[in-house]
Structure 1
Amino acid sequence: MTATPLTDRKNAAISRGVGMTTQIYADRAENAEIWDKEGNRYIDFAAGIAVVNTGHRHPRVIEAVKNQLDRFTHTCHQVVPYENYVELAERLNAITPGNFAKKTIFVTTGAEAVENAVKIARAATGRQAVIAFSGGFHGRTFMGMALTGKVVPYKVGFGAMPGDVFHAPFPVEMHGTTVEQSLAVLKKLFAADVDPNRVAAIIVEPVQGEGGFYPVPVPFMKALREICDQQGILLIADEVQTGFARTGKLFAMEHYGIAADIMTMAKGLGGGFPIAAVTGRAEIMDAPGPGGLGGTYAGSPIGVAAAHAVLDVIKDEDLCNRAENLGARLKQRLASLRDKVPEIVDIRGPGFMNAVEFNDVTTKQPSADFANKVRLKALEKGLILLTCGVHGNVIRFLAPITIQDEVFAEALDILEAAMVEARAA
């Protein structure tokens, strides 16, 4: 995309630390389509990074927000509480995995949810250390950066990270790390670096987001649950990107038949309006004293109203099943391109949280260059894609689950053309 006067204004006014994938400036959006300031139309396969799972401006979400705007916009729940916050907590307590009593708090962002999950885990266990995984992403706050398993661009230049955070390799067999090897490193970590009796929590994304859309292997998730139970460690599932029908289940942990002690949520919960949540075992969530949790905008009544509508839409429009169907169609189309595009080395992902990974055909090494060529070719043709992965060689697909069938078919045609043209570029 060429520079525009608006791009020049952005460069002059906004920190370069706020990276931008495109130079598209949105003017309006509807479901899975965005129109820019020049009137150009784009199909959105990013969904605000898995935020508008229910589509841009879903009528029921907009209606709920308008109704709330007519009543009040902000009181701060810790000063003058409101019923829809209580009701949404009740709903999340009932629908999140785990057959045990739960409690919930609301905050504003995914990073804030992660920060609070760690605070709660430390308060509940009296321990300090936390274990995370390579390739994981947990936010841009200092604790979020410390937990995140990728240096550039998230940690570089920001100085010392908070202490008592340890990393183990995430098991991705195609990149040389098996489940057994990851578990062996965890065992060694407990022997050489941190007493397990000092570990408050292990945090894991059921499907790594920024790390490349690698699902946690089932045996590994079961092993983590066993380790946590044996050592008195809390298991935190970071479902910020995987939640709310994206993986074909309301929550990705449902694929494992395992319940985490604490779950973090955000993104898809608000359907485009900022809201995040932490839900966990009731006794754990009650560990911090009054005033230890919260925030001025935490559980904004606007975000809460939107979240209620999102949960209704997911249920009434059967979006979990639709995610499965869309993901199957996408993966089938990608599989049909293997002969035309030999750079494809893997197609993966549960539900509609899918990815394709590319290697250079000559060196057999991860090719970020080819992934970016595909992204740019698609953008020229009106399809917004995102790359990810530790090696930058993965394209992830996060279209709204409500995308119209005809728009989805159009997007698949653009994707195929972009991949074929990227080979010739």
Structure 2
Amino acid sequence: MQDVEKDSFLGKAGLLKMLDRIQGEFSYDGTAYHLPVTYAITGRAIHTGDEARSVYEETGGNPLVAAECITSFEQAKHGKEEDPYTGFIVDSVLRKLGYSLVDGSILGLALLAGTPPRPDTAAAICRELQEKYILTFLAGDVISSLVESGVKVGAEYRLVPLGKKPLMGIHFIDIIARVAMMFGGVAPGDTDRLLRYAQERARAFVIVFSGLDEPEIAVYDAFGLLGIPILSVDGYEGSEWVQVDAGDAVGKGLDLKGIKVTVTAIPIPMACSPAFEGKSIRKEEMFVEFGGGRSPAFELLRSRPAEEVTDGKVKVIGPEIEDIREGSAVPLAIIVDVYGKTMKKDYEPVLERRIHNFVNYGEGTWHVAQRDLVWVRISKDAVAHGVR
């Protein structure tokens, strides 16, 4: 069991040594916020090793500043890591994520870092985060662990792989800093307002596994300055880190940040969440497809009298999916009958458009377009897990 306070103290010395090795100029492309954490704290644009060491001293040896300067320098020196790792996320992508936070399709942010004891431990946590509408970032061996266990990662799955090392978790903080400046009215250099914004409005928490070294522990411990709770699944004790069992980590994080989630369990043999809405199902992953120019297909929603509608009733006319040849294109009609006391004819096209969302919420189902232009795919994996 690692002592967080002791290792954090030693880690700050390690960060200083890494800062001393920075030479030349460095910066991030695709942002107006320079090194966002440092810029938000100090209002200064930092681009050289001398400036990095100077601002580190001026901020009292802030580990967040050190980590940001180090990761930016490493990226400038060696380039971005290969796919699927994102590294620094550019402003244009971040703005889209910010809109999702505003419209409620994302309820909060989480970061997973370190080396999970078993792949299924991390997979279960990530699945719960997806189902609870949490945008999740990943740093360290947890990413390879998830990939090896068959979990798909990427922004389209709301599991964003930042980098191979836990230190890349600093991008989680630079995202919060930029959101504060973009949407929260925080001016660069207004540290007090930044801290208030992060503590009061950033619905974010961190889950750490074992495997963090001393400098990384120092950086993650500094997340607490922003009111971000650190939940330790295993390997750490001390400071304000909260020890939890893996199965309780997500619930504890939500409670600590006051994130209220009401999710209706849908009894289907695949995960179902807005987290999967941006995914795609490639041809080689597809079991069957409908429409898209490959076969006739349409969808239609109709208002009907109460006596003609049975709530929850589903009727399939035609072959079951196990009777369809894998890889084929099959005609499809989706007809939805709706009754409601205040239902109007004008509501039909509005509700009909929601078919697109609901189909895409399935981990193994994909939908584009509408009416008689629809294109739907079901994945091999979904069929293997029992989707009918």
TM tier, smaller: under 0.3
- Taking structure 2 as the reference length, the TM-score comes to 0.25
Higher helix share: 2
- Taking structure 1 as the reference length, the TM-score comes to 0.23
Q: Which structure has the larger Rg? A: 2
Higher relative contact order (CA 8 A, sep 6+): 1
